[in-house]
Amino acid sequence: MLKKVSYVSLFCIALAVFGVITLKQKLPLGPIVLGLSGLPLLGIALARRSFKRAIPDLIFGGLDTGLLTIPALWGGSLYGVAGAIAGGVIGDALTDGIAGFVEGSIAKWLRDKGIEESREPITTALGKMAGCLLGSGFVLSIALLVGIQPAFS
């Protein structure tokens, strides 16, 4: 288990470092976050794990954090840091329920089709991580295209 924790931790550290660099350079968040989703997907591939098994986790992460990004962006735009925190916290509670329902439904559908989707640490962790980055990167990219850009202070 320690080996698996270390493996996933490497990807967490890499994402954190890239995130800080992105913020320091004041780069457009959406495309960068979308691009960073490739890092945990690479981790799944390098660990020789099945992407099919990660489908429920990818969808959960994409829905959960993609939808969460909307109230966080909205709250931050209207009320600053406190609004972003409130939007993120309340949005997270709501989107966990929505994404969890969808994840469970997809897991059941995959089982019904004979696709093994049982969870294991690396696929679940990196799948959810990639899904979160894909979902939020998509929302932030759309926001950028329509002229909504989070302010850097």
Work out the burial of residue 96: count CB atoms within 10 Å of its CB; fewer than 13 is exposed, 13-18 middle, 19 or more buried.
middle
Q: State residue 128 phi and psi, 5-degree precision.
A: -65, -40
Amino acid 148: pLDDT: 86
pLDDT of the chain, 153 residues: tens digit per residue: 888 889 999 999 999 999 999 889 999 999 999 999 999 999 999 999 988 888 888 988 998 899 999 999 999 989 999 999 999 999 888 888 888 888 888 888 888 888 776 678 888 899 999 999 999 999 999 999 999 888 777
Through-space distance between the first and last CA atoms of the chain, rounded to whole angstroms: 41
Q: How many helices (H) and strands (E) does the chain have?
A: 5, 0
pTM: predicted TM-score of the whole model, two decimal places: 0.84
pLDDT in tens, 75-115: 998 999 999 999 999 988 888 888 888 888 888 888 888 87
Q: Name the DSSP class of 27.
A: -
Q: Which of 124, 152, 138 is nearest to 37 (CA)?
A: 138
Amino acid 117: pLDDT: 66
